[in-house]
Amino acid sequence: MDSLTDVLDGRWASLRRDIRAQVADEKFRDPVGLGVEEHRAQVLEQLHELAATGRPRLGFPEASGGNGDIGGSIISFELLGLGDLSLMVKAGVQWGLFGGAVELLGTREHHERYLRAIMDLELPGCFAMTESGHGSDVQHLRTTATYDPATREFVVSTPDVAARKDYIGNAARDGRLAVVFAQLVTAGERRGVHAFLVPIRDESGAPMPGVRIEDCGPKAGLNGVDNGRLRFDEVRIPRTALLNRYGDVAEDGTYASPIESDGRRFFTMLGTLVRGRVSVAGSAGSATKRALTIAVRYGERRRQFHRPGERDEVVVLDYLAHQRKLLPALATTYALHFAQEELVATLDELQSGTGEVDEVRQRELESRAAGLKAVTTWHATSTIQAAREACGGAGYLAENILPGLKADTDVFTTFEGDNTVLMQLVAKGLLTSYKDHFEDLSPLATARFVAEQFMGAVIERTAARKVVERIIDAGPGRDDDDALFDRAWQCKLFEDREEHVLDGVARRLRQATPENAFDLFNASQDHVLRAGRVHVDRLVLEAFVAAVDRCEDGETKDLLNRLCDLYALANIEADRAWFLEHGRLTSARSKAVVAAVNELCAELRPHARKLVDAFAVPEQFLAAPIIAD
């Protein structure tokens, strides 16, 4: 078991062990039986405990008193996902979004003035981007910040209710300073969305003049997070409250920016905030691991119906239907874990460097983060649901943890980018080969760009890719029934699917004219989303393959190889209609895939417990009576 955990823990093994030990402390307990206000209070207290560990410093640069370990900071958010997800989200708001925006969009003066207080939680803050009327299309936010050269201030305004800031974490109760995204207006000209520091409460907790704060009220889950709404009635802030790394206003009102296009500037700003999405994917993975650990442990002890001639009833995990509910999901959870690990390593490499970041690589990273966030959070929703059903009525009792996990993770498919929108972003990146700015998400722009420039699918330079190429090159290219278990065959099938789907989408979009672009794009939307999806699926398989390749312990490697087979074949099975339609699988081979998934379930069944125990979820977070000894 240690060996499996070692493989999962990978590069940040020692940090992972430390954080697991830390969150195993009773202080980080679940909010059992707490009302909304008590839950909020407990989470705030826990947040202070976290601050006291110094862990939040990981993500901030050394120059500002941080540790400069970007990867480690993402890992620490991931592991917070093993416990109360309200704490993970509140930590994410404070240090990831709010602190991250001050660091990445601000300049030295902001860093010096605020970062230490943010890290230590002396200054709780908000990240006020979403508005009631604009969630996905944030380029068109309607809050304004108008420069008044007479007083050298910006005047922040909410023109109407659709422009109020909504669902803002830390806003309803604790936040004192907010990073507010608003249309910058100076000298009568709009310059696009910028970020401003706006105090929303004084030290006593009272709202600042001109700031109206509402509580979003009870939510499906995450009730330990105080989401709120903010409205600004001509709130004046100093000129220096503009986070001015990508655009600044001189005292006389002159605007200057290193990036000319408003859209491009805004998406560059957004791009720097990619860590949020990566962290959400990581913690969604952790919650999934927790749910699977509970369901597998229960499935190993719950008995129902007699097997003829035996005294004891059958353990439910011995039933094929039960294995089908949990084991392919378990394999996918491993696959996504390795893909996430690779993504974090890439992010760490790009953002820890001091030099200029290659723009194409930065866009690849953003696209991969978007895609993996969507796939991982959808997987969390469906797997936690399956785990609940696999635990029957017991799974419906709050004491058995799954209801809370379901409720808390439900919004993950929506926040930090709606999954459907994110998947389009992935497809757009592929179609434009990451060469164009992401600035304009309009169908017309995409379609036109594709018509002009699409060059065919691009295989990204991930670390895993080299391993996969070696395996494909060495593969026997067999075509018999054993081919199903041939890694080279599986990889080629995923790769071929991606290329074919992407080529098909590009061909369709090349028909675009200014008149038909929207309708054409819309009619192709399912095709576009599919292109994003199969791309991510390939990256995930390749990450899994590379992780198995790295593993040195023979027995562990064998087990991971089988699990990788299950991931690959369950993915192919779910999509076999496409492979059949496109002549990639014969009928016989397609049926063989279904049979192979069943066989793999039977083969992996005896290892199910070991596979979930390797996640090493602290027992405090598994204190469900249904699995208590």
For its own copies, the binding residues in 322-381 under the rule CB under 8 A are: 322, 324, 381
552-587 burial, b if ≥16 CB within 10 A, otherwise e? eeeebbebbbbbbbbbbbbbbbebbebbeeeebbee
Nearer to its own copies, 466 or 582 (CB): 582
Nearer to its own copies, 5 or 525 (CB): 525
Residue 38: CB minimum distance to its own copies, A: 12
Is position 577 an interface residue for its own copies (rule: CB under 8 A)? yes
Angle at 9 between CA 3 and CA 12, to 5 degrees: 135
Is position 261 an interface residue for its own copies (rule: CB under 8 A)? no
Q: Which of residues 148-177 bind its own copies (CB under 8 A)?
A: 166-167
Q: Which of residues 113-132 bind its own copies (CB under 8 A)?
A: 130
Q: Which of residues 423-482 bind its own copies (CB under 8 A)?
A: 441-444
Point out which span in 58-66, 95-103, 300-308, 338-346 binds its own copies (CB under 8 A). 300-308
Is position 389 an interface residue for its own copies (rule: CB under 8 A)? yes
Binding mask 403-432 for its own copies (x = CB under 8 A): x--xx--xx-xxx--xxx------------
Please identify which residue in 61, 68, 135, 475 interacts with its own copies, judged by CB under 8 A. Answer: 135
Alpha carbon distance 359, 348 (integer Å): 16
Which token pair is 188?
Answer: 């009568």
Residue 234: CB minimum distance to its own copies, A: 26
Q: Could you tell me if 217 and 111 are in contact, meaning their C-beta atoms sit under 8 angstroms apart?
A: no
Burial class (CB in 10 A: 0-12, 13-18, 19+), 203: exposed
Is position 304 an interface residue for its own copies (rule: CB under 8 A)? yes
Please identify which residue in 187, 206, 256, 398 interacts with its own copies, judged by CB under 8 A. Answer: 398
Please identify which residue in 113, 116, 152, 219 interacts with its own copies, judged by CB under 8 A. Answer: 219
Q: How many CA within 13 A on the CB side of residue 533?
A: 15
The DSSP call for residue 207 is B
Point out which span in 105-113, 145-153, 262-270, 511-519 binds its own copies (CB under 8 A). 511-519
Alpha carbon distance 348, 568 (integer Å): 28
Give the number of residues in contact with its own copies, rule: CB under 8 A. Answer: 77
The DSSP call for residue 609 is H
Please identify which residue in 311, 583, 628, 629 interacts with its own copies, judged by CB under 8 A. Answer: 583
Please identify which residue in 151, 233, 396, 452 interacts with its own copies, judged by CB under 8 A. Answer: 396
Is position 603 an interface residue for its own copies (rule: CB under 8 A)? no
Please identify which residue in 189, 260, 356, 526 interacts with its own copies, judged by CB under 8 A. Answer: 526
Q: Could you tell me if 347 and 278 are in contact, meaning their C-beta atoms sit under 8 angstroms apart?
A: yes
Residue 263: CB minimum distance to its own copies, A: 12
Rg (the chain; Cα; Å): 25
Burial class (CB in 10 A: 0-12, 13-18, 19+), 140: exposed
Q: Terminal CA-to-CA distance of the chain, rounded, Å?
A: 20
Is position 516 an interface residue for its own copies (rule: CB under 8 A)? no
Is position 189 an interface residue for its own copies (rule: CB under 8 A)? no
- Around Cβ 426, how many Cβ atoms within 10 Å? 27
